[in-house]
Each structure stands twice: as C-alpha cells, then as structure tokens.
Amino acid sequence: MDREISKTERRKALWRQIFKTGGLILAFVVAAGFLISYMQASLNRKDLLISTVDKGTIEVSVNASGKVVPAFEEIINSPINSRIVEVYRKGGDEVDVGTPILKLDLQTVETEYNKLIDEEEMLRLQLEQLRVTNSGKLSEMEMKLKVSRMELSRREVELRNERYLDSLGAGTTDKVRQVELSYHVGLLQLNEDEQKYLNEQALTEADLKVKELELRIFRKGLAEALRTLEDAQIRSPRKAILTYVNTEVGAQIQQGSRVAIVSELSHFKVEGEIADTYGDRIAVGSRVVVKIGNNKLNGTVSDMTPLSKNGILTFSAQLEEDNHPRLRSGLKADVYVMNAIKEDALRIANASYYTGKGEYELFVVSDDQLLKRKVQLGDSNFEYVEVVSGLRQGDEVVVSDVSSYQEKSKLKLKNK
C-alpha cells in the first residue's frame, strides 16, 4: 500500500536536484572557460621583436634603391668602323697603362693616314714654291726700282746743269723746261713703281699666310688622324681591371661602339634611384646612409640628374669608406637620404611593418596580453619611426611580423 511522502522529504529531494543541476552548470562553465582560454592564440615573448616607445632625435630620411658600382670606370669605344682581328686580354684581367687589349683591322685607316702624309708634304712643297716665286718677283721689282732711282738721279743732275747754263746765258728756257718735264715724269714713274712694289709685297705676304694657314689646318687634321689611328690600337688608358671586352674575333665594329671597359675595383660608389615625388628632399651634398646587409656606410650625394625619367630621379653617392671589404660591383643596397631632423620626438624601432606615414594597427604589450591599438605614425629613418599619436612613452610595441594575426584584437603573451 503506497504511503504519502512527507513535505520534508520532498523538500530534501528538491534541494538535491537543484544542487545536482547547479553542479553540472558550474562544471560546464568552468570547462567552457578553460576551453576558450586554451583555444586563445598565444605568442612567446622571446619569438617577438618588441620596441619600447622612447623620446629622442629622428634624422628624417627618404628611402631609395641603390647599386654599388666602381668609383672609376672608363668605357673604351672604337674610333673607327672596323672588325676585331685579335683579342689579347679577357674580362677580369688586371691591365696597366698602355696594355694592348684587342687589335682592330687598321689597313684602311693606315692607308688613309699615309695618303694624308703625302698630301701634307705636297702642301709644304707648294708653300715653299710660293715663297721662292714671291721672293723672285719682289727681287725683280726691287732691281727695277733701283734703276728708276738711278735714272731719276741722272735727270736731276741734268736739270741742275741746264739751269746753271741758263743762268750763264749758255742754255735756253725751252731746254730747261724739257729737262724739268722729263725729271717730273721720272719722279711720277718712280712713285708708281714703289707703290706697285708695296702692293705686291702685301699681296705675297697675304698669299703666304693663306697657304701657311691651309697647311696648319691640314696638319691638325693629320694629327687627329694619327690620334684616331693610335686610339684604334685598343689599349688600357689606366691601371685597372678589365671588366668587359668584346671577344668576338671577326665581328664588325661600328664607330663609337663599346669594345671594352676598365674599372678601378678597389674603390666604389653607389648609384641610386628615388621617386621624383621626393625630388625636393634630395640635393647634392645631402648625407646618406647605405645599408648592405648589417653594414651601414656613410656618404654624401655627389651628383644627381636634374630631370626625372619615368618618374625616377637618379643620383650618385660618394662613400666615406669607399674601399669597405663588403663592397662589390653590382651589389644591391638600401640607401637612406637624410633631409631633416626632429628633436624630442616619440619614436619606435623601424622594421618591416612600416611602409610610410599613416595609420597602423599595432599590438601593444599589456601584462600577459597583446592588445591591438590604432597608432598614427609619421616620418622615419632607417632606425626609428616617429609616433604621432596612439602610444605613450614606455609602451612596448610589437614591431616584428605578426600579419597572420591581424584578424585578432587580443593575443596571449607567454613570457617563457
């Protein structure tokens, strides 16, 4: 026979059910919290590059790409149209001043040069012939002048005698007038001959100067032909390393085409390229820092092109230590051109995260967590980036690559 359960027992049973249900709920909450904590992304501090925000000087720079090239390099071009007959040296050989590098076919040039020598001799002989002819002509005219002067002197004596006889009454007036007329005619003739002589003398001097000028001009052309002939015997102009030589024996070479390059490989410079939007931030004399691996080399802008090409300005940088052992021809380098200084600026370390002025989302250390924060960054150099807003002095900021966690707003930080 069933009996009725007392109120006390029913109350106890209810409490037992409540405790049981509550325990299950509490266990579920603890398990869920543990699971969420376990599944939250975490990073080890030792695997991160963390920069502490501090205050200091930022020497603002703009980035450029650069290439290491020899400080002294000379291109040897062919002065004539010819072909390669022999090659005496190969790329990488050390050459001294005057060392033969290759031989061109010079038969045509030599023939032309010899022809010019003959023409020069002919012009020289023509000049000498003109001197002799002019000298003979002037000598003949001088002889005629002497005869005319003697004739005039004779007539002058005759006129004096006639005047004397006329004064004694032994002569006649008509005779005196006749002799006077003859004397004056002779005087006019002498004056005319003297003027002809002076004119002829000036003319012969002018002819000689013209011929001498022609000969001088021709000799300059001859000297240029000789220089071309000597240059066509391709030799090293300095003590250096032969970095390029055309070794195609028999190849046709056009005048002005490159046949060899000699370079001084113990000293180097950097040729850089920068966007023309930064043209107002670079000038000759600007300080630069060249980074090659972990090496930093100081230098100055020594030369730059005034016009941009395809939006690019090119410049050259002279290095203070241009013989650094890390330098190699053709080596790529990062170039930082300094253009301003900011004192007492908030700054963090520069790294791959920085791509220019603007807003960034960076992870900031907060106890054992990394919290994402919006940060405004400004100018930079190769070491530091200016903090405009979003960070305070002493904040620790992750500056290593954490791009795979950009979707996260919070990360767990392990200090082990």
pLDDT tens digits for range 198-214: 888 888 888 888 888 98
Strands 54-77 and 332-349, how do they pair?
A: antiparallel
At residue 105, the 3 state secondary structure works out as coil
Report yes or no on whether pTM surpasses 0.75.
no
In whole angstroms, what is the distance from residue 259 CA to residue 251 CA?
11
In whole angstroms, what is the distance from residue 58 CA to residue 295 CA?
20
Neighbours of 48 (CB within 10 A): 18
For residue 336, which of 66, 67, 60, 62 has the smallest C-alpha distance?
A: 62
pLDDT along the chain (416 residues), means of 10: 57 66 64 47 80 89 89 86 87 86 85 88 89 85 84 78 72 75 82 84 87 90 84 84 87 87 87 88 90 89 87 91 88 89 89 87 87 90 89 90 82 78
At residue 98, the 3 state secondary structure works out as coil
Cβ-count burial of 193 within 10 angstroms (0-12 exposed, 13-18 middle, 19+ buried)?
Answer: middle
SS (H, E, C) 309-342: ECCEEEEEEEECCCCCCCCCCCCEEEEEEEEEEE
For residue 282, which of 303, 296, 297, 268 has the smallest C-alpha distance?
A: 303
Long-range CB pairs of 378-382, under 8 A, 24+ apart, other chains included:
379/58, 379/60, 379/340, 379/342, 380/58, 380/60, 380/61, 380/350, 380/354, 381/58, 381/59, 381/60, 381/61, 381/289, 381/336, 381/338, 381/350, 382/61, 382/289, 382/291, 382/296, 382/334, 382/336, 382/350
Amino acid identity at 99? T
Return the pLDDT at 38.
Answer: 42
Each residue's pLDDT tens digit, 261-280? 898 888 899 999 998 888 88
Residue 300 pairs in a beta bridge with 287, 318
Each residue's pLDDT tens digit, 28-84? 655 544 444 444 567 788 888 888 999 998 888 888 899 998 888 888 888 888 888
Long-range CB pairs of 166-172, under 8 A, 24+ apart, other chains included:
none
User: What tokens appear for 167 in the block?
Assistant: 């004064």
User: What tokens appear for 172 in the block?
Assistant: 């006649």
Return the pLDDT at 8.
Answer: 67
Return the pLDDT at 272.
Answer: 92
Amino acid identity at 282? I
Return the pLDDT at 68.
Answer: 92
Which strand (E) or helix (H) includes residue 229? helix 173-231
User: What tokens appear for 245 in the block?
Assistant: 């030589």
In whole angstroms, what is the distance from residue 138 CA to residue 132 CA?
10
Cα–Cα separations (whole angstroms), residue 118 to 110, 215, 218, 231: 13, 12, 11, 22
